[in-house]
């Protein structure tokens, strides 16, 4: 038996590819007519036997390169033949249908085409204001109108009430009248403040009636009568009565000698009666009841040059001191 020739790596790879090609061909014969027709249309290319660049035995690097290329080609042939074997014959489509179906054009793979596709106007995602404005100009579509439902009517209690107008006067006249009233009131307040300020700057003087005054002729005071005409203004009674057996016209001070109250002349009882504590005085001014400790005081009295009776309140005479006997405190009647 002759020794077999030792095969090189390239020859071994070629033999393996040949064996694989035969197996795929036998499998393709058992498959559907559609797949066989497609395989016949594009038969697998078999690589040429490997040769070294120097014409002799290839180097290790060349053998590895050829082995990698052969392996890639074998894997491609296996992947192309494998699905054809797995597809059932019943579901296979006729070759005429496949031939009639238009094939999709191959998409460009260069950088310029990819960038152009990315810069299309119909790109997905958010867009800027300028892009939106350009899109509206390019494709002006009428925007749908938003129909807002009408507002419900307000109830009667929520409606604004019209202003009440003065009868017979316009609103402008009414406002003018209010303004005038306000200005007058403000002016009155300012005047009042001014008067009170001026009054505050001056001392508070108590104005009293004059100490000397005339009450009329002696004939105006008959005997046995007490005249109360000058009590309110001057605080004095002018009486014509008898004292110590002598008829006299005198002026009594209308102040109670107890606590300073103002007694009243009671004509029916013929006495001066104090309403505070019940002190009583006779017509001549002598005390006889109540807590009053002494008689009433007398004022100085005289006949003036014109014949009228003149009373001087700056001088008083006291009975308990014996001063009523002084001729300056009475006029003989």
| pLDDT tens column, 210-223 | 788 898 898 889 88
Residue 142 lies in a domain: no
Query: pLDDT digit string (tens) for 47-57?
Result: 444 454 555 56
pLDDT tens digits, residue range 10-26? 888 888 888 766 544 44
296 burial type by CB count under 10 A (0-12 exposed, 13-18 middle, 19+ buried) = buried
Alpha helices in 7-110 (DSSP H): 9-30, 33-41, 60-86, 95-100
Residue 278 DSSP class = -
3-state secondary structure of 301: strand
CATH number of the domain bearing residue 284: 2.102.10.10
Mean pLDDT, residues 298-325: 91
Q: b/e string for 254-293 if b means 16 or more Cβ within 10 A?
A: bbbbbeebebebeeeeebbbbeeeebbbbbbbebeebebe
Q: In which residue are the tokens 């990819």 written? A: 114
Domain boundary residue among 53, 88, 123?
A: 88
Per-residue pLDDT of 87-104, as tens digits, reads 444 444 544 444 445 555
Q: Which of 57, 88, 119 is the last residue of a domain?
A: 88
Q: Are 239 and 227 in contact (CB under 8 A)?
A: yes
Count of domains for the chain: 2
Answer whether residue 27 is part of any domain. yes
Residue 106 is assigned to a structural domain of this protein: no
d(CA 97, CA 119): 37
Residue 56 lies in a domain: yes
**Tens of pLDDT, residues 117-144:** 666 555 556 777 887 778 777 766 666 7
Query: Is residue 235 assigned to a domain?
Result: yes
- First CA to last CA distance, the chain: 207
Which structural domain, as residue segments, surrounds residue 289?
A: 212-332
Domain boundary residue among 39, 72, 88? 88
CA angle 220/312/320 to nearest 5° reads: 100
For range 239-252, the mean pLDDT: 90
- Lowest average pLDDT, out of 72-81, 140-149, 201-210, 257-266, goes to 72-81
Q: Which residues, in sequence order, are CB contacts of 120 under 8 Å at separation 6+? A: none
Whether 64 is covered by a domain: the verdict is yes
CA distance 67 to 48: 13
**Domain presence at residue 119:** no
Flag whether 150 is in a domain. no
Taking Cα atoms as reference points, which of 153, 145, 283, 304 lies closest to residue 214? 304
Of 44-48, 151-155, 192-196, the range with the highest mean pLDDT is 192-196
């Amino acid at each position: 038996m002759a020794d077999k020739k030792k095969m090189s790596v390239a020859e071994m790879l070629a033999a393996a590819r040949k064996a694989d090609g035969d197996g795929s061909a036998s499998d393709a014969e058992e498959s559907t007519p559609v797949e066989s027709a497609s395989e016949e249309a594009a038969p697998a290319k078999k690589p040429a036997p490997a040769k070294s660049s120097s014409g002799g035995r290839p180097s290790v690097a060349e053998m590895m390169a050829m082995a990698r290329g052969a392996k890639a080609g074998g894997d491609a042939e296996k992947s192309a033949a494998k699905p054809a074997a797995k597809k059932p014959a019943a579901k296979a489509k006729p070759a005429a249908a496949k031939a009639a179906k238009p094939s999709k054009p191959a998409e460009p793979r260069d950088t310029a085409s990819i960038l152009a596709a990315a810069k299309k106007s119909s790109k997905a995602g958010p867009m800027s204001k300028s892009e939106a404005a350009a899109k509206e100009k390019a494709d002006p579509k009428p925007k749908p109108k938003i129909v807002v439902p009408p507002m419900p009517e307000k109830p009667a209690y929520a409606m604004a009430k019209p202003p009440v107008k003065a009868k017979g006067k316009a609103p402008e006249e009414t406002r003018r009248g209010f303004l005038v009233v306000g200005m007058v009131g403000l002016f009155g307040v300012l005047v009042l403040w001014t008067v009170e300020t001026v009054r505050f700057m001056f001392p508070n003087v108590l104005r009293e009636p004059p100490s000397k005054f005339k009450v009329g002729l002696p004939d105006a005071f008959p005997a046995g009568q007490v005249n109360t005409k000058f009590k309110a203004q001057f605080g004095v009674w002018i009486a014509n009565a008898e004292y110590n057996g002598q008829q006299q016209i005198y002026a009594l001070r209308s102040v109670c000698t107890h606590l300073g109250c103002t007694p009243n002349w009671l004509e029916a009882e013929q006495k001066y009666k104090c309403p505070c504590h019940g002190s009583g005085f006779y017509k001549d001014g002598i005390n006889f009841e109540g807590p009053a400790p002494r008689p009433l005081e007398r004022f100085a009295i005289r006949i003036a040059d014109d014949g009228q009776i003149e009373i001087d309140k700056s001088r008083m005479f006291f009975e308990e001191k014996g001063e009523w006997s002084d001729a300056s405190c009475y006029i003989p009647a």
